[in-house]
Amino acid sequence: MKTQLLSQTQISQASELLLQGEIVGLPTETVYGLGANGLNPSAVENIFTAKGRPQDNPLILHLGETSWLSRYCIDIPDVAWELAEHFWPGPLTMILKRNPVVPDIVTAGLDTVGVRCPDHRLCRDVILQTDRPVAAPSGNTSGKPSPTTSKAMLEDMDGKIPAILEGGACRVGVESTIIDLTSSPVCVLRYGGITMEQLERVLGTTLKQETKAENAPKAPGMKYRHYAPRASMTVVVGEGSQSADYIQKHLKQGEGVLCFTEYKPLFSGFETCDIGKENDFTQQGKRVFEALRAFDKSEVNHIWAQCPPERELGVAVANRLQKAASFQVVTL
């Protein structure tokens, strides 16, 4: 099977394929997803095969609009509607009690379901035209960095799925934030495109930092190796000039550097990938997965990475880098 790249005028084709039980690559504002009709168990099963994903790892159900919440969830607390009003369409996934119409294969048998309404016009048009929720994980092969362009998705999925809808480079670039609204107090299971600061402003409470996903792998997917480039990797946590200095001292021939724009000139002669200026977390979010993928195309045998501080979107970027490095981290 050759994977077809659909243009933005081919929304009906994408929707047709979904209704026929096929899987389709869909752009979202976070990363590209591997979508199937979320009400068709055998279609959803194909996702796990294409991705090589363990079946105990549940999928997010993507909704066409906020009102669909009550189609697929039950016992919806007021706070869910409030969060949806503030952040949907957008990069926030809410874990809620599932309505039994949602097949077991989507939720890996859990009595909860993750739902979000994506902020990408083409994606939502496809979902609305299909009039079905779309179950979709990130469109990478299990364990690899998530794809933020159709080209990156094609690298992993060519020949495995019939089509990918071209939707340009993803605006956010890291996955959605996942908040569990079925636990008390509510907790964040994955840092992502909506920051802790944004959530706290709406919730009116502080979200505890102990809810860090790596310490509490309540989202089943968090226990698996993730985002990993071929080369081994060390993340250096600290102020930019200090981490650059540390990396310069330790860097050996044949190794590469993932750095902030300001420090790139320090590493001339080495394979480098800059993810944006030190304080530009938005740019870093957009570029982090592409950078990790770029190193896979080079010969480097080790990657040294500078790391943004744990605030705002920096938290999500730092988390992706540290997971990619299997938590091999030096703190200065």
Nearer to Mg ion, 138 or 319 (CB): 138
User: Considering the rule CB under 6 A, would residue 95 count as an interface residue with ligand TXA?
Assistant: yes
Phi, psi of 245 (to 5 degrees): -65, -45
The answer to whether 105 contacts ligand TXA (rule: CB under 6 A) is no
Task: Determine how many CB atoms are found less than 10 A away from the CB of residue 130.
Answer: 22
The reply on whether position 138 binds Mg ion by CB under 5 A is yes
Chosen from Mg ion, ligand TXA, none, partner binding at 59 (C-beta under 5 to 8 Å by type):
ligand TXA
The token duo for 34 is 């591997």
Work out whether 142 is an interface residue with ligand TXA (CB under 6 A): no
Residue 57 found at the interface with ligand TXA (CB under 6 A): yes
Q: How many residues bind ligand TXA (CB under 6 A)?
A: 28
Find, among 230, 248, 222, 221, the residue nearest to 306 by Cα.
Answer: 248
The full DSSP string for 44-107 is HHHHHHHHT--TTS--EEE-SSGGGHHHHEES--HHHHHHHHHH-SSSEEEEEEEPTTS-HHHH
- Within 10 A of 2 (CB to CB), how many other CB atoms are there? 7
Q: What is the DSSP letter of 138?
A: B
Which amino acid is residue 138, in one-letter code?
S
Cα separation, 1 vs 260, whole angstroms: 40
Q: Which two tokens stand for residue 332?
A: 């200065």
As given in the structure block, the two tokens for residue 166 are 């071209």
Which residue stretch of 41-49, 111-119, 132-140, 166-174 sits at the interface with Mg ion (rule: CB under 5 A)?
132-140
47 scored as a contact of ligand TXA (CB under 6 A):
no
If one asks whether residue 138 binds ligand TXA (CB under 6 A), the answer comes out as: yes
Count Cα atoms within 13 angstroms, Cβ side, for 217.
Answer: 10
**307 contributes a contact to ligand TXA by CB under 6 A:** no
113 binds ligand TXA (CB under 6 A): yes
73 lines the binding site for ligand TXA (CB under 6 A): no
> Is 142 a residue that touches Mg ion (CB under 5 A)?
no
| Interaction between residue 236 and ligand TXA (CB under 6 A) | no
Q: Answer yes or no whether residue 28 interacts with Mg ion by CB under 5 A.
A: no
Q: Whose CA is closest to 234, among 243, 224, 245?
A: 243
The reply on whether position 136 binds ligand TXA by CB under 6 A is yes
CB of 226 to Mg ion, least distance (A): 7
In angstroms, what is the minimal distance from the CB of 234 to ligand TXA? 24
Residue with tokens 């179950």: 135
150 binds ligand TXA (CB under 6 A): no
Query: Binding partner of residue 58 among ligand TXA, Mg ion, none, CB under 5 to 8 Å per kind?
Result: ligand TXA
**Is the Cβ of residue 28 or residue 138 nearer to Mg ion in the bound state?**
138
Q: For residues 247 and 317, which CB has a smaller minimum distance to ligand TXA in the complex?
A: 317
Hey, which bits of 157-208 come out as E strands? 163-165, 177-180, 187-190
CB of 145 to ligand TXA, least distance (A): 11
Nearest in space to 132 (alpha carbons), one of 35, 10, 6: 35
Asked whether the beta carbons of 90 and 29 are under 8 A apart, the reply is yes
Question: Per CB under 6 A, does 221 bind ligand TXA?
Answer: yes
Interface with ligand TXA, residue 220, by CB under 6 A: yes
**CB-CB contact of 22 with 160 (8 Å):** no
Tell me the closest approach of the beta carbon of residue 77 to Mg ion, in angstroms.
26
Residues of the shown chain interacting with ligand TXA in the complex, contacts defined by CB under 6 A: 28, 30-31, 33, 57-60, 91, 93, 95, 107, 110, 112-114, 118, 136-138, 175-176, 178, 189, 219-222
Residues of the shown chain interacting with Mg ion in the complex, contacts defined by CB under 5 A: 138
